[in-house]
Amino acid sequence: MVMKGRYKSLAVIALVSLLIFSMAINVYNDNYGEKATGNVTESSINPYVLYTSEPAPMGISAMGIGPGNTPYSLKTSSFEGIINITDIKTYNASLPSGEKNDASIQLNLHLNFSSGGHTYDYWIQNVAILSTSNKTPGVSILDNVWNQTTRYANIYGSTLSGNGTLYNSNGQQFYIDEPSMYITTDSIGLREVYKNISGYPTVYMEYNTGSGWNIYDTVKFIFAKNASNADFIVQGYRYTSKGNPCDAELILGGPGNGASTTDVKSNLTMQLKYWNGHNYQAIENAYNFGSDTAETISNANSQMAKNFPGVQISNGTGKLKMIYNQNELSYLNITAKYIIQGYVLANNYKTNFRNYAMNITLIPGEYNISIYSLYGQKISNFSVQLAAKQTYYKATENVYPVIFKAIGLINGTLWFINMNKLNLSSTDNEIVFYEKNGTYNYNISGLFGYSIKNQTGTITVHGNFNYVNVSFHANPIIRSIEKYAFYYIIALALIAIILMGISGTGRKDSTKMFKEYNINNDDENNNLKR
């Protein structure tokens, strides 16, 4: 368990000893997407300005530099990092007792926004602290927020609100939240999501250990009412006020306070993705190290993964480099009109999407593509051979949503519908089918404790969106029994125990009589034998 404040000076505290620049942050490209444009006359950053060799923060990053050292800008409302661990063990003998096998995985991003005529830069870290003593690591989560608008900028109580608190590190005040949690897992997701909430820039800090995304902290910048131009930024034209590249990075390093560690044994993969408006898409120009954090690792060899745009880390001497760029990848651009939410399987590579389209970054090769709705209905299937630098465009055949909306059903109750020989289910209050124009029969399965209006019926699909309201009426007595079944069982058990106690004496007498009867019978049997 991570103690309060154990890693409170998580990353920037050790950067004071690194090379510092005084360059201001520029205004960034207004377009989503990260492909380098070429023919750029402005100067570009040097990705190796802070690290040229191990020990370094090893993993995967977008530095704002594409093929041919061409700078680019990327802005997005969210990044996520996906980590799958087969094996990991790190060691640093100089760390305190109980922490010698600890490491960290960090999703480090720059949030920029404008307010009151000024542009602000906040460096936000979503961090998983790993205890690698066992084969499956123990994981605790924390976050840090640092003000990097100017070289000596601070965070105050009037700056932001959240679940955490403020600390001071070498004269610089920053924000930290350390939820009380410890999970054993080999699958970790880290995500930062920007939203405008009532005019305030707000960042949701999320983690996923295999059972879905959980928000553990909500950071709201309370001084910046009606802020504009807010996004997570990657750009390769200029350094931050701290002299660092303005990158997005998912890295493996020491556990905190600028500590380093050594990769003793490892086998894990990392993917860094950004939200493109429809889906999380793998970054298209990737380095195998980060730049902004002081936590480092040695003997970590980060190479391009075999089956997806990402990295695979194993123990061994690592070399800092660009591991792939946009010219070495393929792109799948699918339009799925009317499909509200769903997912795509490109071989075994899964991508969730919404809002009728998706753009997926892939390694060149042959793919079997299957498109499904959120509820698991297969919408389309095709195969394609993708070459490097190729963008394959595909529009699915039009099918139209039939939206069944449950009214009166308690949230979380599993319900089922059969339509056109397909069974779908949900615990939400909606189930959506996708069908061609035509007329279809449907049947809604009965649920314990409910009567259902419109349990069977016919729907005619005529393009666009089609709606069917399904009214569930609960039997109060049956629903009460179901809702309070646990308490009823306890009450019945107590009554049974009491009754058994009351009747105990009678059972004892009966037992004595039974024994006497048996004795008499034994005598009779003995007599018969004689």
The type of residue at 220 is K
**Do the Cβ atoms of 192 and 205 come closer than 8 Å?**
yes
**Do the Cβ atoms of 113 and 159 come closer than 8 Å?**
no
pLDDT score recorded for residue 502: 73
Rounded CA-CA distance 184/255 in Å is 17
Question: Which H/E stretch holds residue 80?
Answer: strand 78-91
Rounded CA-CA distance 497/417 in Å is 44
pLDDT score recorded for residue 16: 33
Residue 508 has pLDDT above 90, yes or no: no
What is the tens place of the pLDDT at every residue in 444-490? 987 877 889 889 999 999 999 999 999 998 875 544 555 555 565 77
Average pLDDT of every residue of the chain:
87
pLDDT score recorded for residue 500: 78
Residue 204 pLDDT grade (very low, low, confident, very high; cuts 50, 70, 90): very high
Handedness of CA 489, 491, 492, 497 (dihedral sign): positive
**Do the Cβ atoms of 270 and 287 come closer than 8 Å?**
no
What is the tens place of the pLDDT at every residue in 157-188? 999 999 999 999 888 999 999 999 999 999 99
Of 131, 159, 135, 132, residue with least CA distance to 145: 159
pLDDT score recorded for residue 512: 40
Residue 410 pLDDT grade (very low, low, confident, very high; cuts 50, 70, 90): confident
pLDDT score recorded for residue 5: 53
Rounded CA-CA distance 49/37 in Å is 23
Alpha helix locations (H) across 174-232?
none
More confident residue, 479 or 254: 254
Percent residues over pLDDT 70 in the chain = 84
Residue 381 pLDDT grade (very low, low, confident, very high; cuts 50, 70, 90): very high
Residue 495 pLDDT grade (very low, low, confident, very high; cuts 50, 70, 90): confident
What is the tens place of the pLDDT at every residue in 114-137? 999 999 999 999 999 999 999 899
Residue 98 has pLDDT above 60, yes or no: yes
Of 393, 329, 383, 389, residue with least CA distance to 357: 393
Angle at 355 between CA 354 and CA 356, to 5 degrees: 100
Residue 338 pLDDT grade (very low, low, confident, very high; cuts 50, 70, 90): very high
Per-residue pLDDT averaged across 328-333, rounded? Answer: 98
Please report the domains of the chain, with CATH numbers, ordered by start residue: 34-328 (no CATH), 331-378 (no CATH), 400-474 (2.60.40.10)
* Buried/exposed code over 50-84 (b: 16+ C-beta within 10 A; e: otherwise): bbeebbbbbbbbbbbbbbeebbbbbbbbbbbbbbb
